[in-house]
Amino acid sequence: MKKLLAIITTLALLCCCFAGCGAQGNDDPAGDANQKYTVGICQLVTHDALDAATKGFKDVLIEEFGDNIEFIEVNAANNPDTCTTAVNDFVSKKVDLIMANATPALQAAYNATTEIPILGTSVTEYGVALEIEDFNGTVGGNVSGTSDLAPLTEQAQMIIDLVPTAKTVGMLYCKAEANSAYQVKVVKDYLEGKGLTVKDFGFNGSEDVASVSEAAASACDAIYIPTDNTAASCTETINGAVAPKKVPIIAGEAGICSGCGIATLSISYEELGRTTGAMAVKILKGEADIEEMAIEYDNKPVKKYNKTLCDELGITIPEGYEELK
């Protein structure tokens, strides 16, 4: 009888040991190696800058998670209402994270959920986009991301440096894009401080880009276009309206510049997307709290020029600029 009790006790102890080993394995972070994630991506519109940001974002997540990451992608074709429909669908499907590419996409996601982590990208100023007073660089709650803000006063100075004969400068942008209006104000204040006359030429959408662009070219010696999504998707139309007037355009980013501008001080949108992707990896792996994550920036903008348009306009570009490819 004593031997039987001893055997039973030994078996019980062995079971406990095995059970303990199993529990320890579940606590091991390596046990999450096969965790699968679903990420919703809402991109406002198709153009080079936003496309590059989405690519960079996805590349980082695929590099980290491989086949364990799934994307649900929606391109809103420059329709904010479609952004709203898309992010509401993401919420209903309980995705693990939402990436909102451009300001209207971010605004739609911000209004759709306070629970799912939201990372914005290609958003110029989060305080303006989300109507946050005294914005300190951290949104808080379930929102963070990256900004495509380039040094606006340096972009403004490029107009003076490259078109020194300009007396009147037109601000060409979409009135519906809050961050475009923000950039225009900063550039306008700088140029007026230098004694130039600045006129606003705001279009409502793609339907009146041509007519407003032609009006700007007729009234101005030079034109500035900020990082504006509607303008970026209509560069051929803008160039068609402005080029015959021989009016040079300084652009807020490389995609717009390659289509209709002579020069830009631009960030890399693909690198911006990769930075956003790295933030997403930390959130999904539980290595960072989005509530405490500050907005990140690309601090290495590059001066670039459009050789074709510069040659057509007879504009000589000084040293320190890279040719757009």
Residue 210 to residue 188: CA distance in whole angstroms: 22
* pLDDT tens over the chain, length 325 residues: 433 444 444 444 444 433 433 333 333 344 366 899 999 999 999 999 999 999 999 999 999 999 999 999 999 999 999 999 999 999 999 999 999 999 999 999 999 999 999 999 999 999 999 999 999 999 999 999 999 999 999 999 999 999 999 999 999 999 999 999 999 999 999 999 999 999 999 999 999 999 999 999 999 999 999 999 999 999 999 999 999 999 999 999 999 999 999 999 999 999 999 999 999 999 999 999 999 999 999 989 999 999 999 999 999 999 999 999 8
With respect to residue 26, please indicate whether it lies within any of the assigned structural domains.
Answer: no
Write the single-letter amino acid at 168. T
Which CATH number does the domain housing residue 119 bear?
3.40.50.2300
Residue 40 to residue 17: CA distance in whole angstroms: 43
DSSP string, 248-311: -EEESSHHHHHHH-SEEEE--HHHHHHHHHHHHHHHHTTSS-GGGPPPEE----EEEE-HHHHH
**Using one digit for the tens of pLDDT, what is the confidence trace for 177-214?**
999 999 999 999 999 999 999 999 999 999 999 999 99
- Domain span at 95: 36-148+268-294
Tell me the residue length of the chain.
325
Q: Domain count of the chain?
A: 2
With respect to residue 255, please indicate whether it lies within any of the assigned structural domains.
Answer: yes
User: Under 8 Å CB-to-CB from 155, ≥6 apart: which residues?
Assistant: 187, 224, 250, 252, 264, 265
Which of 139, 235, 122, 222 lies closest to 179 in space, CA to CA?
122
For β-strands 118-123 and 143-147, DSSP reports them as: parallel
With respect to residue 226, please indicate whether it lies within any of the assigned structural domains.
Answer: yes
pTM for this prediction: 0.83
User: Under 8 Å CB-to-CB from 174, ≥6 apart: which residues?
Assistant: 180, 202, 203, 204, 205, 228, 229, 230, 231
Which of 301, 300, 283, 302 lies closest to 291 in space, CA to CA?
283
DSSP 3-state assignment of 140? strand
Query: Are the beta carbons of 33 and 92 closer than 8 angstroms?
Result: no
- According to DSSP, the residues that pair with 97 across neighbouring strands are 39
Judgement on whether residues 187 and 276 belong to the same structural domain of the protein:
no
pLDDT number for residue 33: 66
Other Cβ atoms within 10 Å of 83 Cβ, number: 30
With respect to residue 175, please indicate whether it lies within any of the assigned structural domains.
Answer: yes
Query: Are the beta carbons of 322 and 280 closer than 8 angstroms?
Result: no
Judgement on whether residues 188 and 306 belong to the same structural domain of the protein:
yes
Write the single-letter amino acid at 228. D
Judgement on whether residues 197 and 242 belong to the same structural domain of the protein:
yes
> Dihedrals φ, ψ of 88, to 5°?
-65, -35
With respect to residue 8, please indicate whether it lies within any of the assigned structural domains.
Answer: no
Query: Are the beta carbons of 268 and 324 closer than 8 angstroms?
Result: no
Largest CA distance in the chain: 108
Judgement on whether residues 77 and 212 belong to the same structural domain of the protein:
no
